[in-house]
Amino acid sequence: MRGGSLKRWNGWGDESVSLAVPPAAARLLEARIGPGAPPKDAALADVVAGAPPPRLAPGRLVTTDAETRVRHARGQSLPDWIALKSGRLGALPDAVAYPESDADVRELLAMARAGVRLVPYGGGTSVVGGVNPAPGDAPVLTIDLARVNGLLDLDETSRLATFGAGILGPDLEAALRARGYTVGHFPQSFEHSTLGGWVATRSSGQESRGYGRIEDLFAGGRLEAPSGTLVMPPFPASAAGPDVRQMILGSEGRLGIVTEATVRVTPIAAREEVRAFFFSGDERALAATRALAQTRLPLSMLRLSLAEETESALLLAGAGPTARALDAWLALRGVKAGRCLLLAGASGEEAPVARALAAAEDLVLSARGVPGPAALGRRFLRDRFRGPYLRNALWDLGYAVDTLETATTWEKVPALVAAVEHALSSSLEALGERLHVFTHLSHAYPSGSSAYTTYVFRAAEPDATLRRWELAKRAASEAIVRAGATISHQHGVGSDHLPYLAAEKGELGVASLAALARVFDPAGAMNPGKLVP
């Protein structure tokens, strides 16, 4: 089992990594939403002991070990956390399979015909319920791709690398680094998510502006489905009809299992740098970010924290001792209330990186922005995957944290952010509970931007916490739909976003997904309850 005892069974990441909530951040939360009450979490041993008996038998590739089943029962959504922390897991997989080859996968997929439901499992980091067994009478087999994880081919002439799709982010980058290359795909889940999972969920990385989203990086590969095998050749482009690769991207296990993926690689960047800038007020910051996004400057990242997030993020990052120095620095330069932090990154050869960042700085200055301390940019790169660990620490203080994200055209971005934040902030009024809500733009495009909103509220008994989440999530999702934005820019659909999918895909779009599912999986055995109604 990958990660083994090192991976938290009921929280984020490696057990060896713990972050603390800085006192100033805790004070902020207490002032905004009230004091948290530390929870009483269930113990793994008790949950394992209470696992229902499996309805599948173990076999060559298949284990029914109760701890393994528990560790594959849920992803990383807040409802998943509530289930895991309380020990009330609901449906468990009846068994977990570890195939080692395409032939193994095909052997397992044949069980679809015998009435078994199959859940493909990459790194288990879904935050939308993507790996959870749907409750029901049919037994569930979770297929963990952990052992399908090799570098199968590196075509240096064409700059294409082919991997077993179960490879984890760090292993993929390490294998390429040894040969002088990188894929450059760095979602926040990077350390625990897999290449196949990135493809199946249309993942986006922190530097997608430079390296491309997974749609751009995934050149081709292999899908094993109950109906057969689909090979997607890695053509640089094709006009031979609709792109089948694009039907697999985002298919969330409903069409089959991505076993092999060929990705575009580039030489390791000689220089990678992130610079911090500050603006006074959301409006000015948004205008500057849009202007930067609409240049052709080869920036690999643009990430704008709006004012509320900037304040919270600086506190949560524990910028304690330096916070006052930063205040003074910014005040001297005219940035006082409503300061917004923009991070702009570039990656590549020395000269173009230097030039792109200098040009970005010129544009920022002309938009009345102020360069921030260089340390902020360096800290982003150092801590780029540490954010989710704060969820563990906040939970232990009695606070539940969730994030949601969307995207729309620039014209609609301000109204979208306002609507989502308002919907969340007022969602628990009837319960007398408050939320702390803040937003950043994680990905800026020429035509629009993503908006990534974090909301924190007090946890309580499991059912009450879940109820709070349901109210908040529904309010935000309905606001997103009303604002004419996508229900997900990077997290996917899973089960949590399913009720809102038809609003953007339309009746014909949803019918298309269902028709594709019938082609690849006539028995409807693949990851039921996700993506396709």
Listed residue (97, 107, 282, 262) closest to 196, CA to CA: 262
Both tokens assigned to 251: 């298919």
| Helix, strand, or coil (residue 219) | strand
Task: Give the shortest CB-30-to-a second copy separation in angstroms.
Answer: 35
Q: Is 455 within 8 Å of 373 (Cβ atoms)?
A: no
In the complex with a second copy, which residue's Cβ is closer, 16 or 157?
Answer: 157
Task: Give the shortest CB-167-to-a second copy separation in angstroms.
Answer: 20
Task: Give the shortest CB-130-to-a second copy separation in angstroms.
Answer: 11
Q: Is 110 within 8 Å of 256 (Cβ atoms)?
A: no
Q: Residue 164's beta-bridge partner residues?
A: 260
Q: Is 396 within 8 Å of 460 (Cβ atoms)?
A: no
User: What own/partner pairs with CB < 8 Å and gap ≥ 24 does 355-363 have?
Assistant: 356/297, 356/298, 356/299, 357/273, 357/275, 357/299, 359/295, 359/297, 360/275, 360/292, 360/297, 360/299, 361/275, 361/277, 363/288, 363/291, 363/292, 363/295
Task: Give the shortest CB-311-to-a second copy separation in angstroms.
Answer: 27
Task: Give the shortest CB-403-to-a second copy separation in angstroms.
Answer: 14
Q: Is 213 within 8 Å of 205 (Cβ atoms)?
A: yes
Residue linked to tokens 């993507």: 130
In the complex with a second copy, which residue's Cβ is closer, 229 or 322?
Answer: 229
Question: What is the crossing angle of helices 462-482 and 78-86, to 10°?
Answer: 170
Q: Cα–Cα distance between 221 and 496 in angstroms, integer?
A: 28
End-to-end CA distance of the chain: 32
Both tokens assigned to 282: 């959301």
What is the four-CA torsion angle of 126, 128, 130, 136, rounded to 10 degrees?
140
Both tokens assigned to 55: 């309805």
Task: Give the shortest CB-499-to-a second copy separation in angstroms.
Answer: 12
Task: Give the shortest CB-465-to-a second copy separation in angstroms.
Answer: 26
Task: Give the shortest CB-245-to-a second copy separation in angstroms.
Answer: 9
In the complex with a second copy, which residue's Cβ is closer, 250 or 377?
Answer: 250
In the complex with a second copy, which residue's Cβ is closer, 43 or 519?
Answer: 519
In the complex with a second copy, which residue's Cβ is closer, 118 or 400?
Answer: 118
Task: Give the shortest CB-381-to-a second copy separation in angstroms.
Answer: 20
